[in-house]
């Protein structure tokens, strides 16, 4: 299972290849965790607004964060990869 999103209010969880995605509303634990994560992210007004919510869902539910941030579509690392979500997710103990 993994978590991803393009919007802080529409977090998607992929259950499996054949199962598709479900959209979940953040519960109280996720909301609390998202606030903590948001407080520690650099440049919070500039970062994607969904980042703390994706990281919070992954932490609370024990899921993997899935994103193309920091990679080209060919799979090579971008110049600014260290400023994208995967390193921040990993620093919070998430698989990314």
Give the pLDDT confidence of 52-78 residue by residue, as tens digits: 888 998 999 888 888 778 888 888 888
In this prediction, residue 47 carries a pLDDT of 59
What kind and span of H or E run contains 37? helix 28-40
Please say if the pLDDT value at position 46 is more than 80: no
Residue of higher predicted confidence among 92 and 12: 92
Q: What is the pTM of this model?
A: 0.76
| Domain boundaries along the sequence of the chain | 2-91
pLDDT in tens, 5-43: 666 666 777 766 666 677 777 889 999 999 999 888 877
Q: DSSP letter at 7?
A: S
Encode 56-91: b = buried (16+ Cβ within 10 Å), e = exposed: bbbbbeebebbbebbeeeeeeeeeeeeebbbebbee
């Amino acid at each position: 299972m993994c978590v991803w999103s393009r919007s802080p209010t529409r977090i998607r969880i992929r259950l499996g290849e054949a199962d598709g995605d479900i959209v979940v509303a953040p519960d109280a634990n996720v909301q609390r965790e998202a606030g903590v994560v948001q407080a520690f992210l650099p440049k919070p007004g500039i970062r994607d607004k969904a980042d703390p919510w994706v990281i919070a869902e992954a932490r609370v539910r024990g899921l993997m964060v899935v994103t193309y941030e920091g990679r080209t579509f060919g799979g090579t690392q971008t110049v600014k990869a260290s400023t994208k979500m995967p390193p921040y997710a990993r620093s919070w103990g998430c698989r990314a």
